[in-house]
């Protein structure tokens, strides 16, 4: 990865700018990643040469657009090692995919007295759909809590997941603490009790190799924009036997078999779940992002980010007044690092870092139950990706120190 890092950085034009007279250090990748030239060009090329609706036309542009769209599906299939392309559904994003499962599989299979198990670290996208499903159906929603080290309490998980459990839904990696969860182990536990396992892969697929067959997940959702693809596009993987038994999520064009005046039949998967005109250009752009990541290699991406975490995490934890949340072992940590600076509100910290050209996020990160569990209202969060460098990590450390000095002494460097 080191040998290609300069080339990688040159692929991202948005990073070649200054913010507040400082070189931009973009550390908000858990919210959304930046796009390389290759993805931007793929979008431009599609709109300039191939733009048409898919599947329904026989003219040349429609056939080219359809070929591009389905090629993107096959790229994603290979990228996550899904058994077949029909198990890959295009969605608006990870949130949309998780809602799809809750509104179709969940609605059809959850009854009063059933139990759904999630973790306390879930993003609202993998919490509220199950919460509301449980409320509608009279089911019980249970939470796996954390060890003192910020990891899932697997002993508690083994107690919570019982024969009453119908769905277990857990993030592959936390968007707040960077914790990588053992979802293969949790999926096995769910299956032992006859439950299905739903994985939220939004923070995992962009950063590590994911094999849905090896994990044996029943459903797995992720977003394109966090892996350098366009916004408004995402993926839901589901096992064929489950998808085929599920009712449609939305109704309209493309998802039908045949429509009569009083009844309708549905198309085969995946089209049963892709009603209306999809984000075709988004799918093409996502395919280009998959090509880009595949060209670098996900093992190389993961190794690069791990090197940054190994370098940064001990240094952040050594700064007086800085509290870092999540596993202390860098090997159990993604490039997401949530932290607070003593006596300072995270929004003030993020604003001060922005004055140094360092872009981080501050807030509850769509994980309010986790914040309440930790006794917090918010944190600052720095999140790294393949185009970040050790120099970026150093800039963050310097900016944190200068923020401390500014608020403690009322002075700041002049530019």
DSSP secondary structure, 21-48, as one string: TEE-EE-BTTT-----HHHHHHHHHIII
182: helix, coil or strand?
coil
Residue 396: which of 31, 27, 33 has the closest Cα?
Answer: 27
CA distance 234 to 39: 15
Q: Which long-range contacts (CB under 8 A, 24 or more apart) does 66-71 make?
A: 68/280, 68/283, 68/284, 68/287, 69/278, 69/280, 69/283, 69/284, 71/287
User: Angle at the Cα of 249 (from 246 to 253), degrees rounded to 5?
Assistant: 115
| All structural domains of the chain | 2-31+298-409 (3.90.1150.10), 40-295 (3.40.640.10)
The string of DSSP letters for 153-170 reads -HHHHHHH--TTEEEEEE
* Measured CA angle at 92 (ends 115, 72), to 5 deg: 115
Q: Strand 88-91 and strand 234-238: pairing?
A: antiparallel
Catalytic member of 366, 369, 373, 402: 366
Question: What pLDDT, on a 0 to 100 scale, did the predictor assign at position 414?
Answer: 40
Note the pLDDT of residue 306: 96
Retrieve residue 253's tokens. Answer: 């064009």
What pLDDT is attached to residue 1? 57
Alpha helices in 181-297 (DSSP H): 183-192, 212-215, 240-245, 280-296
Backbone angles phi, psi at 147, to 5 degrees: -80, 170
Strand partners, 363: 379
In this prediction, residue 7 carries a pLDDT of 79
pLDDT, residue 316, reads 94
Determine how many CB atoms are found less than 10 A away from the CB of residue 399: 23
Ranges of the chain with pLDDT below 50 = 411-415
pLDDT score at 336: 97
Known catalytic residue at 94: no
């Amino acid at each position: 990865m080191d040998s290609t890092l300069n080339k990688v950085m040159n692929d991202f034009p948005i990073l070649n700018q200054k913010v507040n007279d400082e070189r931009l250090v973009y550390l908000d990748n858990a919210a959304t990643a930046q796009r390389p030239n290759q993805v931007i060009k793929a979008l431009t090329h599609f709109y300039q040469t191939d733009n048409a609706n898919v599947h329904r036309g026989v003219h040349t542009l429609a056939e080219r657009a359809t070929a591009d769209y389905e090629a993107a599906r096959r790229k994603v299939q290979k990228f996550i090692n899904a058994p077949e392309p029909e198990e890959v559904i295009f969605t608006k994003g990870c949130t949309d995919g998780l809602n799809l499962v809750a509104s179709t599989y969940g609605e059809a299979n959850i009854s009063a007295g059933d139990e759904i198990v999630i973790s306390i670290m879930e993003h609202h996208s993998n919490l509220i759909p199950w919460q509301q499903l449980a409320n509608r159906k009279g089911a019980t929603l249970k939470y796996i809590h954390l060890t003192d080290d910020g990891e899932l309490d697997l002993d508690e998980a083994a107690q919570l997941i019982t024969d009453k459990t119908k769905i277990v839904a857990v993030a592959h990696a936390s968007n707040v603490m960077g914790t990588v969860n053992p979802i293969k182990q949790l999926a096995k536990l769910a299956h032992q009790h006859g439950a299905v396992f739903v994985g939220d892969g939004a923070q995992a697929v962009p950063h590590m190799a994911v094999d849905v067959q090896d994990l044996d997940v029943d459903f797995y959702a992720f977003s394109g924009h966090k892996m350098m693809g366009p916004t408004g596009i995402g993926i839901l993987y589901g096992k064929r036997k489950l998808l085929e038994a599920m009712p449609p999520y939305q109704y309209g064009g493309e998802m039908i078999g045949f429509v009569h005046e009083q009844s309708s039949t549905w198309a085969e998967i995946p089209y049963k779940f892709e009603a209306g005109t999809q984000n075709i250009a988004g799918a093409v752009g996502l395919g280009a992002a998959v090509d880009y990541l595949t060209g670098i290699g996900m093992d190389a991406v993961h190794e690069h980010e791990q090197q940054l975490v190994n370098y940064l995490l001990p240094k952040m934890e050594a700064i007086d007044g800085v509290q870092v949340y999540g596993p202390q072992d860098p090997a159990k940590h993604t490039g997401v690092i949530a932290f607070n600076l003593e006596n300072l509100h995270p929004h003030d910290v993020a604003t001060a870092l922005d004055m140094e050209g360092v872009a981080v996020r501050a807030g509850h990160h769509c994980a309010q139950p986790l914040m309440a569990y930790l006794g917090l209202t918010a944190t600052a969060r720095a999140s790294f990706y393949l185009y970040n460098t050790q120099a970026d990590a150093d800039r963050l450390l310097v900016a944190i120190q200068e923020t401390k000095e500014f608020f403690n002494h009322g002075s700041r460097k002049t530019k």
